Structure formats: C-alpha cells, structure tokens
Amino acid sequence: MVRYVVNRLVQAIMLLVIVSAIGFAILHLAPGGPLSQFAVSAQMTQEDLDRVTRQLGLDRPLPIQYLDWFGRMVRGDWGKSYRDGEAVLSVISSHLGATLELMVTATILAVLLGCWIGILGALRRYSLFDTLATVGAMIALSIPTFWFGLVTIYVFSVKLGWLPAGNRHTIGDGSLLDLMHHLIAPAVVLALVETAMWGRFMRSSMLEVINQDYIRTARAKGMPEWRILTVHALRNALLPMITVAGLQLPTLLGGALVAETVFTWPGMGRLFLDSIGYRDYPVVMGILMFSAAIVLIGSLLADILYAVVDPRIRVG
C-alpha cells in the first residue's frame, strides 16, 4: 500500500511540473501582456511601457523567466501580483475562503439531493419519478450556468425580492445569517449541474448493485428490504462514487468560476478571470498550480480511498 501511495505521489508531482511548464509557456506566449491595459490611455507612452517591462523582468528570455519563477516557487515565494503588488499566496488565500464556502455548500446540496434522486430512480426504475428525474438531469446538464444564474437573480431578486442580487454579504453586516442568505442563490446555481451528475452516477451504480446475486440471496433469506438497501446495496453502490467525487473537482471549480462572476462572489474563480484579463502572470500561475494541486490531491485521495476499500486495486 505504501509503495502504491508513493508511486501515485511521484506521478502527481511530475504532473504538476509538466502543468507548470505548459501553463507558463501558454500564458507567456499568448499575445498581449500585463501592460497592454495602459496602451489606449494617454497616461503612459511606449517609453513608459518599455521601462516598466524591463523593471518587471518581462524582457528576459522565456526559459530564464520560467526557471526563475520555478526556483522561487519551490522555495515558497510565488511572486507578487502585477496588479496590486500583493504576494500571490496572500492574494489566493484572501479569495480561497469565499470559494470554499460556495463549493462546500454546493457539494453538500448536490450529494444529498443527487444521491437521493439517484437511489430512488434506481429503485423505481422507469416510474414517473425516474422519468422526470432523467429529463430534469438532462435539462440541468444542458442549461448554461451563466444563464441560470441570471434567471435566478431576475426571479428571486428583482421580481420577488427574496434573495440578494449577489455579493457575499451586506456591507456592514458580517453575520452568519446574512452570509447564508447571500449563499443560497449561488450555491443552488452551482449545485444544479452537480446534482444532476451525482443523480445519474448514483442511479447507475445502484442499479448495478441491486441486480447482483448477493442482493437476491439476501432477499431470499428474508432480510428486510430497508436493511438490504442500507447495509448491502447502498454501501457497495457508494464505492464508485468516491472516484466520482475526485473527478468532479475540476467541474466544480469551473462552475464556481461562472457562479462567482454572476453573483459577484469574491472567490478564486473571479480572481482567475480577472487575472487572465490583466495578464497578471504570477497570480494566474499561482491559481493554476493551486487548482492543479487540488485536483491531483482530490484524485489521489480518491484512488487511495478506493484502494483501501477495494484491495484488488492495489494488486492490479
């Protein structure tokens, strides 16, 4: 088991290095740069731009810039934002809390609701509920998050006035209740696609399990149906969901990016978009590395957990 974990860990680190090199190259080779935002304003001239470019070290060869950045990164210095001069790690941490709030809430909603829908759909296969759940999932997966967010704001904020039209909290009110009030709409919007995914995966997994011989045997032995479902079926059906949870992280991060923009939620997703727009290389690279690490850790944990519960994986 230890060997398995070490192997996976080494693979993950190598992947991170590759991601950093490709990300750095793509970002820096893309036309434009961090100073292009000043080019239509009369505030700066070409000479000013050239001077600032030199001061930021952006005129050096790309491999030198990469090695310099990489060397500092492994020593814990992720650089400073070109926009506000803040240390990258500090910029990321100042946005991380908001994203985690959103992602955790949305995940809890999605897992609870998605699993319930999936289990019920599997147990009542081809019933009206199952059909509606299937159609609903297809619709949820097809709706653009951006559009759904705007519709939610229009209906629940503009028309009904029940929910705030965005922001993380009311200015001057830092209470938990206020935060939860603001969290409802973006979390539901973000959870929509996740719920559909969890529902579909759970349904398939459950169907596979309840058609197994040992379930039939349990029934033949006269075991109560609730016990068959919770002790035998559900536990086994939930096993593949560990992998699903790991794989869902990138989707969740992508969804958060859109939800944060629509609901003016000051999280990592919006920071990423802003930073790309400004070509704030240090912050973009920081978020890229951070996200890649999260996804790899998520995937690694899922693999390890799966190996723990299913020893065949380790052998294979």
Q: Which residues bind another protein (CB under 8 A)?
A: 30-49, 51-52, 55-56, 80-81, 83-86, 91, 94-95, 98, 150, 153-154, 157-158, 161, 164-168, 171-172, 261-264, 266-267, 270-271, 273-274, 276-279
Give the Å distances, CA to CA, from 13 to 20, 169, 287, 303: 11, 38, 16, 16
Distance from chain centroid for Cα 209: 29
Q: Nearest distance from residue 44's CB to another protein, in Å?
A: 5
Q: Nearest distance from residue 279's CB to another protein, in Å?
A: 5
Cβ proximity to another protein: between 27 and 239 the closer is 27
Q: Are 98 and 168 in contact (CB under 8 A)?
A: yes
Cβ proximity to another protein: between 164 and 246 the closer is 164
Cβ proximity to another protein: between 50 and 225 the closer is 50
Q: Nearest distance from residue 249's CB to another protein, in Å?
A: 21
Cβ proximity to another protein: between 68 and 225 the closer is 68
Q: What is the DSSP letter of 279?
A: T
Cβ proximity to another protein: between 229 and 283 the closer is 283
Q: Nearest distance from residue 167's CB to another protein, in Å?
A: 7
Cβ proximity to another protein: between 19 and 276 the closer is 276
For 109, the enclosing helix (H) or strand (E) is helix 88-123
How far is Cα 97 from Cα 88, in angstroms, rounded to an integer? 15
Cβ proximity to another protein: between 168 and 203 the closer is 168
Rg (CA), the chain: 24
Nearest to 148 by CA among 106, 179, 114, 113: 106
Cβ proximity to another protein: between 32 and 222 the closer is 32
Measured over all CA atoms, what is the biggest interatomic distance in the chain, rounded to whole angstroms? 86
How far is Cα 245 from Cα 177, in angstroms, rounded to an integer? 29
Q: Nearest distance from residue 91's CB to another protein, in Å?
A: 6
Contacts with 289 (C-beta within 8 Å, 6 or more apart), sequence order: 16, 19, 20, 23, 73, 78
Q: Are 41 and 52 in contact (CB under 8 A)?
A: no
Nearest to 114 by CA among 259, 226, 238, 260: 238
Q: Nearest distance from residue 46's CB to another protein, in Å?
A: 4
Q: Nearest distance from residue 157's CB to another protein, in Å?
A: 6
Place of tokens 């920081």: 286
Q: Nearest distance from residue 60's CB to another protein, in Å?
A: 17
Q: Are 136 and 129 in contact (CB under 8 A)?
A: no
